[in-house]
Amino acid sequence: MAIVSFLGLGVMGFPMAGHLVSAGHSVTVWNRSSQKARLWTDTHKGQSADSIEDAVRDADLVFMCLGDDPDVRAVAGMALPAMKPGSRLVDHTTASAALARDLHSEAKAHGIGFIDAPVSGGQAGAENGQLSIMCGGDEADLAHAEPVMQAFAKAIVHAGPAGSGQLAKMVNQICIAGVVQGLSEGLHFAEQAGLDSQTVIAAISKGAAQSWQMDNRWKTMTEGEFEHGFAVDWMRKDLRIALDEARRNGSRLPMTAMVDQFYAEVQALGGGRWDTSSLIARLKAADAQ
């Protein structure tokens, strides 16, 4: 059993912290909203702390799952001075690689290990304990944290030194953006051509066009149901991070930039909280004009 704390109880962090309790670990949580922390303790029978410092003081491992770079920097800035030397800070937020490298250095100055460990799998993956985790940092720190992270993971991969986990997550989001746009256009084309979408999917889903998005989202996309977790607002944040990194490393991401603007159109339709499969909605909206 490990003594751990979990900072941030959003749609991902709430179930992830719960899996740690189920795995037998001693878990203390903190959330900006104390009401959400009370809901978590009522649900999972763990304990909460009123402050970040109190949450992390005795922990061997501290997990964070927050919103964006400013949130991570602020919370880590309070956590690191209060953590005990030899402990580890694991950040599951999708954030910038530059921030991960900075926090790795800051943590070392406090005698603490740091791992950037963004996740893929969405809300369903978090709830089912089936997340894929891309890790950057020192191998020794990951070896210490990995057995505990297994509580909510189906795959944990060490991508390289600090920042590499975040870079791998950028690749993940770039690929998803292209796949969802392609699926949206394919379904739209099938409808415009007078084809039965179910028949078409049955024909192509066993071949080279197959994808997780096709298997899990084609039907809800055609029915205009976009309540499946990872929101457009968050996807645009992730794509912004990837596009910023591309400008630094010289990558050319024309498709990613285009899909980012398509998501901006979805936001303009009022779909900021729709899930990422809602790209098809902008095509349907254009038909209705």
Give residue 230's pLDDT: 87
Tell me the pLDDT tens digit for each residue of 111-157.
999 999 999 998 889 999 999 999 999 999 999 999 999 999 999 99
Higher pLDDT, 228 or 99: 99
Distance (Å, rounded) from C-alpha 20 to C-alpha 41? 13
Give residue 1's pLDDT: 87
Q: Is the pLDDT of residue 275 over 80?
A: yes
Given the residues 169, 219, 237, 284, the one annotated as active site = 169
Across the range 81-109, mean pLDDT stands at: 98
Q: Is the pLDDT of residue 88 over 70?
A: yes
| Continuous H helices in the chain | 13-22, 34-44, 52-56, 69-82, 97-109, 122-128, 139-149, 164-192, 197-204, 212-222, 232-249, 254-268, 279-288
* Mean pLDDT taken over the chain: 96
The enclosing H or E element of 29 equals strand 26-30
Distance (Å, rounded) from C-alpha 174 to C-alpha 168? 10
Give residue 243's pLDDT: 98
Q: Is the pLDDT of residue 229 over 80?
A: no
Q: Which residue has the tokens 């109880």?
A: 9
Model confidence at 214, pLDDT cuts 50, 70, 90, reads very high
Model confidence at 288, pLDDT cuts 50, 70, 90, reads low
Across the range 259-274, mean pLDDT stands at: 97
Distance (Å, rounded) from C-alpha 280 to C-alpha 24? 43
Model confidence at 285, pLDDT cuts 50, 70, 90, reads confident
Q: Is the pLDDT of residue 240 over 80?
A: yes
Instruction: Give ∠ CA 5-9-15 in degrees, rounded to 5.
Output: 90
Q: Is the pLDDT of residue 211 over 80?
A: yes
Across the range 232-253, mean pLDDT stands at: 97
- One CATH from 3.40.50.720, 3.10.450.750, 3.90.700.10, 3.30.160.60 for 3-161: 3.40.50.720
Percentage, residues of the chain above pLDDT 70 = 99
User: What is the C-alpha radius of gyration for the chain, rounded to an integer number of angstroms?
Assistant: 20
Model confidence at 91, pLDDT cuts 50, 70, 90, reads very high
Q: 167-288: which CATH topology?
A: N-(1-d-carboxylethyl)-l-norvaline Dehydrogenase; domain 2 (1.10.1040)
Give residue 289's pLDDT: 60
Tell me the pLDDT tens digit for each residue of 58-67.
999 999 999 9
Tell me the pLDDT tens digit for each residue of 247-256.
999 999 999 9
The model's pTM is 0.94
Percentage, residues of the chain above pLDDT 90 = 94
Q: Where are the domains of the chain?
A: 3-161, 167-288
Q: Is the pLDDT of residue 286 over 80?
A: no
Clarify whether 108 is annotated catalytic.
no
